[in-house]
Amino acid sequence: MNYHLLIDNFTNPAFLFFVLGILAVRLKSDLEIPNNSSKFISLYLLFAIGFKGGQELAHSEFNMGIIWAVLFGIAVASIIPLYTFFILKKRFSVENAGAIAAAYGSVSAVTFVTAVSFLEIQQQQFNGYMVAIMALMEAPAIILGVLLIKIFSEESNSQMKIRKVVHHAFTNGSVLLILGSLIIGLLASEKEARGIEPFTTDIFKGFLAIFLLDMGITSGKKLKDFLDSGRFTAVFAIIIPFINGIIVAYISQLITPNTGDRFMFAILAASASYIAVPAAMKIAVPKANPGIFLPMALAVTFPFNITLGFPIYYWVASSL
């Protein structure tokens, strides 16, 4: 079962375009995505993720269960980058520590989609509002990542008021876009939302493939930085997600009795963003090196989760 999941996901066109980007660099090809196009695609992905999350939330019937689930998801997305940042800061620059912490505090939409397939095989259901929670969990980690970088960066003014730092984090273009898109998706009528569905849904995977091609080229150019960062990065990319997934799978029993939802919470805690966070950091913190945090999330954490992580998290979630 896990073997087939592994094959299915590593033959995913988006992932293969990421590999193509790395190969293009290794082959010394002149293939590249223009900077303006790259920035547009980054903004589009943030917009689409936020809007679809808002639509899912709009279709859910509000009750205390949803509210507690949303608060739990936001809490998880806030705690993980906080504690991981201080672990990472001992090994990396402030910019890279903040970017990695944000990536691991945030979530992977592709891992989430893969987890849906896993649950279908298990004939297990989960609630639709988990998609909205996934989108809501993107922003806290990005905000905290930017906030921590601004607070601890040597270039920051030591007299800078925290209020100004928080304001900068919340008004950062990428954060504002994903939160604003979520609210717009929540408020938009179903009829009007269907009018732009071809843009927010149908072409998403195509833009994702081009984005990962660009990220592959960027990572390929800086692959040496990842290799030079030592074994710590690979160990971190396995151990930290595993710990996060196990703990959240266990604690989530306090939030929901649904095994599928508990498994999804574990996946959200264990996954690392290689779409929203790289897109945000590319704009907000250009000094952060995607050659380190992107391969950690995509080349180590992602395959670990879909091969070994899924069955372990599911076992914990279903045995409670």
Residues 301 and 271: their CA atoms lie apart, in Å, by 7
Q: What confidence tens digit (pLDDT) does each residue in 207-255 have?
A: 888 988 988 888 778 666 666 777 889 899 999 999 999 999 999 999 9
With bands split at pLDDT 50, 70 and 90, how would you rate the model's confidence at 161? low
Tokens, residue 153: 């960066």
Instruction: Count Cβ atoms below 10 Å from residue 102 Cβ, excluding itself.
Output: 36
pLDDT in tens, 102-144: 999 998 877 887 888 788 778 888 887 888 888 888 888 888 9
64 pLDDT higher than 90: no
Average pLDDT over residues 167-186: 79
Enumerate domains of the chain plus CATH numbers: 14-21+34-318 (1.20.1530.20)
- What the block records as the tokens of 86 is 């201080």
Backbone dihedral region for residue 188 (phi beyond 0: left; psi -120 to 50: alpha; all else: beta): beta
